[in-house]
Structure 1
């Protein structure tokens, strides 16, 4: 079997994770932390581009990785235009939208740009992104709200949801496209998707929209109360945004974004902490039930994933309320590096056809 060498680049707000694989075998993995002092000189995320690229190259050199042998480089997809799930070869249109941040500024926008730049310096390397958070496969009926100017938008943990969906299918002798699944990704944000034969036909906007509240996000709020808060004069536009994305959820109630810390408080007898975490789990279970309705009750499996899937309290609470719908599988954590590698290998092996971003 031909050995393909793949470099994976996953930029986060204060770190850049990189990994090198020879086929599925990991030969190098590094989580590069960026201090406030490192990032302070840059006014925007886009301005960090050269800095982050050089840090990556230096780490590869220090690890004696022969970059000339790299066949493919895959970066975490950023906030581009809504697109279908899949692997995308980096092209000029994609690079333009990553640079300008067409749907917003985020460190993940740098993934495809750095991948392309490094690939262009190598003899035969190709650059890709895969399953960014803006993957949009919603059915039309799922987009409509009571305000025509405010349609529902698909922003969710597409990379991990798709990866665990494929893993669930593969370990049971099926292919992902044959199954109806409900996947709940539970991390700093929470997204619950209805996967209908390979497409996420309904999912909540996990960034700053609706759905269950999460460790850092407020989720669905009473509309009237939210309007009153916006016009009360007590908070600025920026402060209101922070209220729903960053300072909401567990942070607002309990002053922490760590579910395991809340679970420790519960074990120590904190009844308020138990109520708040129960409420978050209750909302997750309700959203899973809603996805079951989307799939007309024909559900092959429910998958609980993300960092919070390590917490026994959370898993037990949700299972008790949804396992009547379908068997529940738990895949704790979020292995984005492996998911990106698998997508890159599939493209290099021509097991999937690369999509064209337009």
Structure 2
């Protein structure tokens, strides 16, 4: 029987997909439907290095999926799909692991919509449309939050009236769980050590950023909170700010609460500090040319990341390694070096040569002999989703 899993990541106006072999991680077909609902909506399919763009003007999620499935049929891949794995951003306290989707599961996901109003409703659209068009195979939900459900109350509760947690679910949930789970397991396999014997901090750094303390394979603390806004400096998100900033901006800058929320989510972070871009590559180039605000944005990003890594290590007792992953974590050697240089208190000493090659030929290791080890590990959330899906439907 085929091991191919169709992985779906549905956004409010987009649909990302991958056909993944759950055993090897090979992804023969990937792509994206974007600008859904608009006149310039398109479906892009990548196969064997070739890109195919299909016009789906004003197309909905359903029409994008229909167009995708027709292409998979023409490529003789539709019949190879064993199951569909869906990325779901928020599972609240309802889900501690991935699960086969039925009506009860759909209702439970919907009950978390208020916790992720920009993401969960879109995830549900993808699930329901896929179920209609691919109704002969099982569907599985894989949650960004599930990995962090092992955090103790001392890590996930806010110091606010307890009844707000009881009545409204106000607590820290954490995100990027699929990525943190994948890279920690991948590193353990690379080192040929049981994951249950390792205490790690994983830093997922992209446009969205989070770091997680992983004690013997389980998340015990993380930087994101009730929403993905808490924690590290990100591409356009502020990360941690004084909670009174909202009130201050509403009263002093005559902003509405929605405007403040938009500011902190979409106009802050690297973009807000630099005034140039949310892309670290652009900022690095500008900094090298002497742009002081680009340099400032990078310095704030690295300092706050180093500070959070040090804080997370408190929950581990012993730090066996630090993982860098995500677009920035895997590719920005200068960022890794700047962060590690600020973590000498934890015994880190960067090896500039190994770091420049992202630890190639060194099992990802980018630190010197005798140093607390730091590694670069490429994340693969799609493969993790495919693995979970395959295991559940086996």
Give a deviation string over 1:309-335, Cα, whole Å, max 9, x none.
111221111122236163111125x43
Using a 3 Å threshold, how does the CA distance of structure 1 residues 345 and 278 change in structure 2: closer, same or farther?
same
Using a 3 Å threshold, how does the CA distance of structure 1 residues 199 and 92 change in structure 2: closer, same or farther?
same
Is 1:201 the counterpart of 2:217? The answer is no
Residues 283 and 298, structure 2, Cα contact 8 Å, conserved in 1: yes
Match of 1:355 in 2: none
Deviation at 1:152, TM superposition (A): 3.7
Deviation at 1:14, TM superposition (A): 4.5
Match of 2:76 in 1: 64
Q: Distance in 2 between matches of 1:83 and 1:161?
A: 20
Deviation at 1:268, TM superposition (A): 1.0
Give a deviation string over 1:71-129, Cα, whole Å, max 9, x none.
2211112333335543211121221244562522313344443454444x22xx22112
* Structure 1 range deviating more: 143-152 or 233-242: 143-152
Give 5+ residue unaligned stretches, structure 1.
Answer: 42-46, 350-358
Deviation at 1:39, TM superposition (A): 8.0
Using a 3 Å threshold, how does the CA distance of structure 1 residues 210 and 277 change in structure 2: closer, same or farther?
same
SS in 2 for 1:31: strand
SS in 2 for 1:19: strand
Residues 79 and 109, structure 1, Cα contact 8 Å, conserved in 2: no
Using a 3 Å threshold, how does the CA distance of structure 1 residues 72 and 175 change in structure 2: closer, same or farther?
farther
Is 1:51 the counterpart of 2:63? The answer is yes
Using a 3 Å threshold, how does the CA distance of structure 1 residues 27 and 279 change in structure 2: closer, same or farther?
closer
Residues 83 and 136, structure 1, Cα contact 8 Å, conserved in 2: no
TM-score, length of structure 2 as denominator length: 0.77
Q: Distance in 2 between matches of 1:287 and 1:280?
A: 11
Which is bigger in relative contact order (C-alpha 8 A, separation at least 6)?
1
Match of 1:282 in 2: 303
Match of 1:19 in 2: 18
Is 1:136 the counterpart of 2:152? The answer is no
Give a deviation string over 1:164-202, Cα, whole Å, max 9, x none.
111011111123333211111111221111111222111
Q: Distance in 2 between matches of 1:79 and 1:223?
A: 23
Q: Distance in 1 between matches of 2:74 and 2:32?
A: 13
Q: Distance in 2 between matches of 1:253 and 1:76?
A: 31
TM-score, length of structure 1 as denominator length: 0.84
Q: Distance in 1 between matches of 2:75 and 2:17?
A: 12
Q: Distance in 2 between matches of 1:181 and 1:102?
A: 32
Equivalent residue runs for 1:201-280 within 5 Å: 201-205=220-224, 207-232=227-252, 234-255=254-275, 256-280=277-301
Match of 1:171 in 2: 190
Match of 1:356 in 2: none
Give 5+ residue unaligned stretches, structure 2.
Answer: 42-58, 349-371
Using a 3 Å threshold, how does the CA distance of structure 1 residues 39 and 208 change in structure 2: closer, same or farther?
farther
SS in 1 for 2:252: coil
Using a 3 Å threshold, how does the CA distance of structure 1 residues 14 and 210 change in structure 2: closer, same or farther?
same
Query: How many corresponding residue pairs?
Result: 337
Give a deviation string over 1:220-252, Cα, whole Å, max 9, x none.
112344421133362122211111111111111
Which of 330, 353, 357 matches 2:376?
Answer: 330
Give a deviation string over 1:279-321, Cα, whole Å, max 9, x none.
111100100000111112x122111111111112211111222
